[in-house]
Amino acid sequence: MTRRRIAIIGGGFAGLTAARTLRNVDADITLIDRTNHHLFQPLLYQVATAALAPSDITAPIRWILRRQQNTTVLLGEVCSIDASRKVVCLDYQDMEIPYDYLIVATGSRHAYFGHEEWEPIAPGLKAIEDGTEMRRRFLLAFERAEEAKDNAERNAFLTFVIVGGGPTGVELSGAMPMIARRALLPDFRHIDTRQTRVILLEAGPRILPTFPESLAAKAQKSLEELGVEVRTSSMVQATLPHHSANYSAFRWITSVECWSSQISRFPGIPKFSSPATSRLYHAKENRRCQALRRPRCRKGAPPRGM
């Protein structure tokens, strides 16, 4: 009897969990990822604030699955899925990976509510490259402030605006003043890093909307004790170089703006070559891309993907 073939797209938490759960299954598993490493995303904000190095929160996918004999790891980007032929098409030498079962676990990416032109100005925090770019801007702001010729310019470089009061925004806004006011304080001669201003903007009525209200209130109190300015019911209206404005008619002159708001499915999710014959199931989601329920598969149905 031919062994079953399982293809997994994505080496994040979901993809790795699926692969490791299937380690004792009599099947050939192929895990495909566009990078060769797994990223521990919950600590990415510490890379962005220079508290950790990128190597501290990444590990090679091959190393993680090195003892799993039924699993092959491939480096490549999926360009399409042909559900009628049951093959995954890679960008590398037109390679095709056949499958009987398919798991698509490509993760999510930050979204800008239709304003993609904001991304170069206010980068998000999802990939390791996002973390290193944010770290570069964060540290460079203090270097520019050290060289500033007047107080207005200096204050602009010492002002950081974070958009989005979810877990990432809260962690990031809490880490920035601690790094600035403690770790960096003795390193500069012409600026006082304790004057760093961190502003957290949230469009909703409170931060951490997916958490219990009591925990969100404690988190806001902790941030305010650190000196973070938490502004709720403040939706971003526009973002321009060195400016951030919201619907409450405030405007801040800032050197670094960080985006940790709305997320969407990863834009690299492949297209299906045969939409009419595709038998892939997706769980229903809310506006925050959280699954509302598990997808159901009919008994006796042919192999499908999810």
pLDDT digits (tens, 9 = 90+) for 117-154: 878 888 888 899 999 999 999 999 999 999 999 998 99
Catalytic residue chosen out of the listed positions 96, 119, 153, 171:
171
Kindly report the number of other CB atoms within 10 A of residue 145's CB atom.
23
In the chain, where the domains are located = 4-106, 116-263
Residue with token string 């971003």:
236
The verdict on domain 116-263 having CATH code 3.40.640.10 is no
Walk along the chain (306 residues) and give the pLDDT tens digit of each residue: 689 999 999 999 999 999 999 999 999 999 999 999 999 999 999 999 999 999 999 999 999 999 999 999 999 999 999 999 999 999 877 899 999 999 999 988 777 777 788 788 888 888 999 999 999 999 999 999 999 999 989 998 999 989 889 999 999 999 999 999 999 999 999 999 999 999 999 989 999 999 999 999 999 999 999 999 999 998 887 776 655 544 444 444 455 557 766 555 555 555 555 443 344 445 555 555 555 455 554 444 444 566
Rounded distance between C-alpha atoms, residue 69 and residue 60, angstroms: 16
Active site residue 171: yes
Is the whole model's pTM more than 0.95, yes or no?
no
Q: What is the pLDDT of residue 118?
A: 79
Rounded distance between C-alpha atoms, residue 158 and residue 87, angstroms: 52
The verdict on domain 4-106 having CATH code 3.50.50.60 is yes
Report the amino acid identity of residue 210: T
Residue 26 is classified by DSSP as: S
Do the domains 116-263 and 4-106 match in fold?
Answer: yes
Q: Which residues are CB-contacts of 301 (< 8 A; sequence separation ≥ 6)?
A: 279
Q: What is the pLDDT of residue 297?
A: 45
